[in-house]
Amino acid sequence: MKVAVIGATGLVGGKMLQVLEERKFPVSQLIPVASDKSIGKKIKFNHHDYPVISIEEAIEKTPQVALFSAGGNVSLKYAEKFAEKGTVVIDNSSAWRMHEGIKLVVPEINGDILNAQDKIIANPNCSTIQMVMALYPLHCRYKIKRIVVSTYQSVTGTGALAVSQLMDERKGKKPEKSAYPYAIDLNVIPQIDIFMPNSYTKEEMKMVNETRKIMNAPEIKITATTVRIPVIGGHSESVNVEFEQAFEVEKVKEILSESPGVIVQDDINNLVYPMPKNAHECDEVYVGRIRRDESIENGLNLWIVSDNLRKGAATNTVQIAELLLKNNLLKA
């Protein structure tokens, strides 16, 4: 199977290559694509070296699947050109997520909606993915009325420049280039992406709109505050949920423990709870600090952590490709 990775030299693109290799996705020919300055650079994959080529050349090679992680503008410009050649595009940017007719997929939740007509498939936002992984099983049982989420997001979500900025600042060195308008080391920045006319950031509105679409629940009331913190390893979220139906906390833990891709870490007597340091390089979504919100009826608090480069991006993308292959929607 010919597999193109668009943005192969970036943080998420590199993680996609790692996950494809780890999960033994049947790649017979890798087609790595990056910006013009990287063309000709060699990418090692499964003990072979593959040269980085231009995106136009990759289109002509007609891969069966193209995994995009090169930004929304690139996806908008080229995804349809791949699709016209019969390639299935799985896009990790925000470009196609809210387009009518484009599926927004987390395989454990709504993978069954995919069919042979889907030539462009959207991968959700990283912070959205880990939240719905934990909330959807509970929604199916108790029906969610309202979600209040505050995020604590890793600098890896911004990219290599942000990681470099953090590390330079930590060493006391002034970064040559900065990803953020302020220092990130020993700081917290309550802004992720640009501000929208309603005073929310684009990231916050992604969580609102994408959650409703993935869970097929436009009626859920959602509000979000997204925050960047000086952490590498994963995103953390404090999530407050109000259900329509009554619940028992132990039953909530049982439901989550039985949900694919979710691990409950909740033993406060032994100080066991999810942390990004422990989630790093893992594909699971970790849930802890599970407790009743005593201020409202049918309220629940959760603490949710996951590696944003893996389940929040690369792994979810590869899982979509695996599902397509399993259901004979990709022709090997």
Residues with a known catalytic role: 126, 235
226 exposure class (CB count in 10 Å sphere: 0-12, 13-18, 19+): buried
Listed in order, strand segments (DSSP E) in the chain are: 2-6, 29-33, 42-45, 48-51, 65-68, 88-91, 103-104, 120-122, 144-152, 221-225, 235-243, 262-264, 285-293, 299-306
Residue 263, CB half-sphere, CA atoms under 13 Å: how many? 14
Element at 11 (helix H, strand E): helix 11-22
* Whole-angstrom distance, CA of residue 112 vs CA of residue 127: 22
CA–CA separation, 68 and 74 (whole Å): 9
> SS3 of 274, please?
coil
Interatomic CA distance for residues 233 and 229, integer angstroms: 11
Q: Do the beta carbons of residue 186 and residue 166 sit within 8 Å?
A: no
| Rounded distance between C-alpha atoms, residue 52 and residue 36, angstroms | 9
Q: How crowded is residue 51: how many other Cβ atoms within 10 Å of its Cβ?
A: 12
Which residue, among 223, 220, 218, has the nearest Cα to 204 in the 3D structure? Answer: 223
Residue 128, token pair as written in the block: 């959205």
Residue type (1 letter), 171 = K
Q: Give dist(CA 223, CA 205) in Å, integer.
A: 8
